[in-house]
Chains A and B, each alone.
Chain A
Amino acid sequence: MPSKEAYITGVGQSEVGVRLPRHPLLLTVDAVREALDDAGLTLDQIDGVFTYPGKMAGYTAFSPIASEDLIEVLGIKSKWHMGAMEQPAQLSAIGVAAMAVKQGLCRHVICFRTVYEAGGMADPAQYMAGAKQDTVSGSSQWTSPFWATSAACWTAQYAARHMHRYGLTREQLGQIAINGSRNAMANPRARAITKEELTLEKYMAARMVTTPLCLYDCDRFSDASTVVIVSAEDALDEVSAKPIRIAAMSGSVDRYSWDQVEEFAAYETGADLWKRTDYTTADVDTVQFYDGFAFLPITWLEGLGFCEKGEGGRFIEGGTRIARDGELPLNTFGGQLGAGRLHGFGFAHEAVTQLRGKGGERQIAGDPKVAVATSGGGPMAAALLLTRD
């Protein structure tokens, strides 16, 4: 039977580290076990597996585990599964899972994102065999020949333009990483990534990667697995945890080419999210915004309408507004800058954690009920509106 709503009923995460000796399949199973315990479910109740971007042959550091690996090793009798990169950014895997349970295909499904980029870089023969190629093709042929090798180079140009057009300053931009480090210090799972709080002085003195992005504006390779369990409304009586409703979701891609878009997809995806709900920005208690690069949360603040276009820098000025005790707490677990490159799923994990009041030392006050989690940057993006009803 189709289900009216989809809920997140469990979240889990493995140890997060840099060059973890534990195999990425085992990290994934660690995260699954924690999520199942969290939800009060057992493996025999799981009937679907969804992931982003699916196992990447030749570059398994980026994505080492297939949905089918989990089905196989966990003995899941799956009714639907998917692992694909051709979707609007990382959290779209949770979006497709929500569609599957709403359609009645599945009752409880595992959504996961496993990264092994730090460990994989240290073992290229096993995890990066396909990375070295004689020629470039596809979309990278339009950037790599000019040594615009990394997404940092592509994002930097839009950040620089924002500075030029609207007056964003490095002091303002630095608040994203500073806020992330401060929150990461209160997150036990971020211990291997952030060892001390970042100061503005240290930020301003950091070496440039590609202007205006410095070292602290770019997330760093990590090893971890993050799991979110999505359940159908009519299966909630099997769950012991407080369910969090996926109240709305949105995603968009206009041009796939990074250098042909006038604006990043956060603007369109952000506007679309509010067309699918009666909630507004005024109802939101916390935001968890993709920050693979520090400029991206600024596009989300503007795109979702928390401030006017061009005002993102002034909105985060001084950092008080986005702090854990501010009016719009941002990336309360540290974000990817502070808590590691979990690649999108960390934002959903933290939104659920905060809405349930399970944040421990980093828990925000005021009984939060509404959160936004986003993923992506550049030409593709996805957003989730999560609520505790």
Chain B
Amino acid sequence: MNLPRPRPRLDQENTAFWTGGGEGRLNIVHCGDCGEFTHPPRLLCRHCQSENVAPQAVLGTGTIDSFTINHQPWAKGLEVPYVIARVKLDGAPGVYLTTNIVGCPVEAVDFEDRVRVVFEEQDGVFYPLFEKAD
């Protein structure tokens, strides 16, 4: 993908997620009271509504729940095909990330594949992409 990625507008809720990769951290909002995770990130826990929440680095590994090989260039010049996947994160029950699987041919991706995060930086935003873990 040679085009610059669409850039998220950073705000109070999402900055820890989009910049955590600078320190190698995949940050997901965690509740200090009930222990559950909230994603997309919010300033209160979506499980118990506590405001005692903070971004917490999770393991950065996970499993491919589902994926699609995208062939449609949604923007002019976008290189295809590429894999879009829904990754179930280890250590953060109920949290999934839409991401890309990189570092392997698109045909090599399958359901239940184990994956680990790799960050791609673009102007201070660290995009959490995933590659196969084994």
Tell me how many residues of B have a C-beta within 8 Å of chain A.
36
Tell me how many residues of A have a C-beta within 8 Å of chain B.
35
- B5 nearest in chain A by CB position: A145
- Closest chain-A Cβ to B116's Cβ sits at a distance in Å of 16
Q: Can you add 19 more A-B contacts, CB < 8 Å, to A208-B71, A210-B70?
A: A135-B8, A137-B8, A137-B9, A141-B9, A142-B98, A143-B98, A145-B7, A145-B8, A145-B127, A147-B75, A147-B82, A148-B84, A207-B71, A208-B69, A209-B72, A210-B69, A210-B71, A210-B84, A213-B68
Known: A147-B82, A210-B71. A136 touches B96 (CB 8 A): no
A160→B74 CA distance, assembly (Å) = 20
**Chain A positions 122-165 with a Cβ under 8 Å from a chain B Cβ:** 134-137, 139, 141-150, 152-154, 156-158, 160-161, 164
Chain B residues near A78 (CB-CB < 8 A): none
User: Could you mark each residue 80-111 of chain B with 1 if its beta carbon is under 8 Å from any beta carbon of chain A, else 0?
Assistant: 00101110000000111111100000000001
- B3 nearest in chain A by CB position: A147
User: Could you mark each residue 220-253 of chain A with 1 if its beta carbon is under 8 Å from any beta carbon of chain B, else 0?
Assistant: 0000000000000000000000000000000000
Whether the Cβ atoms of A157 and B68 lie closer than 8 Å is yes
A146→B8 CA distance, assembly (Å) = 11
Chain A residues near B39 (CB-CB < 8 A): 260
Known: A150-B72, A150-B74, A257-B40. A144 touches B84 (CB 8 A): no
Chain B residues near A211 (CB-CB < 8 A): 68-71
Whether the Cβ atoms of A148 and B98 lie closer than 8 Å is yes
Whether the Cβ atoms of B99 and A146 lie closer than 8 Å is yes
Whether the Cβ atoms of B9 and A147 lie closer than 8 Å is no
Q: Does B14 lie at the interface of the complex (its beta carbon under 8 Å from any beta carbon of A)?
A: yes
Whether the Cβ atoms of B8 and A156 lie closer than 8 Å is no
Q: Could you give 14 example pairs across A and B, Cβ below 8 Å?
A: A139-B40, A141-B14, A147-B100, A149-B74, A154-B98, A157-B85, A160-B67, A164-B111, A207-B71, A211-B68, A211-B70, A213-B68, A259-B96, A260-B94
